[in-house]
């Protein structure tokens, strides 16, 4: 069972977790219907504010939303919120490594 909690900041839901919790949570969903994870940074948040009709549904439908920006995390902290930082590149690298360890990757 997932222990990941969420907060809202700048009009977007952010899931709060360590990178290890995120990896476990994602890998626990293998075989489940399609879900996607987004890792917004400051540029994404600007685009969300500039074009909410296009961008908001993408974030609203995401299964997980992890903050990919130390700048966003610091802005949240100044606003009294705590956002853990899980970069998309670090998350992807950990997922691939863990999938390899668990022999979840197949030769293409």
Domain contains 65: yes
Please state, in angstroms and rounded to a whole number, the distance separating the CA atoms of residues 11 and 45.
9
Decide if 107 is inside a domain. no
Residue 25 corresponds to which tokens in the numbers above?
A: 């949570």
Statement: residue 37 has pLDDT above 80: yes
Domain enclosing residue 10, as ranges: 5-101
Give me the residue label for tokens 């075989």: 31
Number of folded domains that form the chain: 1
- Could you tell me if 87 and 79 are in contact, meaning their C-beta atoms sit under 8 angstroms apart? no
Residue 33: inside a domain: yes
Give 74-88 pLDDT, tens digit per residue.
Answer: 999 999 999 999 999
Q: Quote the pLDDT of residue 106.
A: 61
Distance between CA atoms of residues 40 and 42, nearest Å: 7
């Amino acid at each position: 069972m997932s222990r990941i909690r969420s907060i809202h900041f700048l009009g977007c839901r952010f899931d709060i977790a360590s990178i290890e919790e995120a990896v476990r949570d994602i890998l626990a969903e293998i075989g489940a219907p399609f879900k996607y994870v987004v890792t917004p940074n400051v540029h994404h948040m600007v685009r969300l504010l500039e074009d909410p009709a296009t961008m908001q549904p993408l974030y609203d439908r995401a299964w997980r939303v992890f903050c990919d920006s130390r700048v966003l995390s610091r802005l949240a902290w100044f606003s009294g919120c705590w956002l853990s930082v899980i970069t998309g590149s670090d998350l992807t690298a950990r997922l691939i490594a863990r999938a390899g360890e668990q022999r979840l990757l197949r030769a293409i």
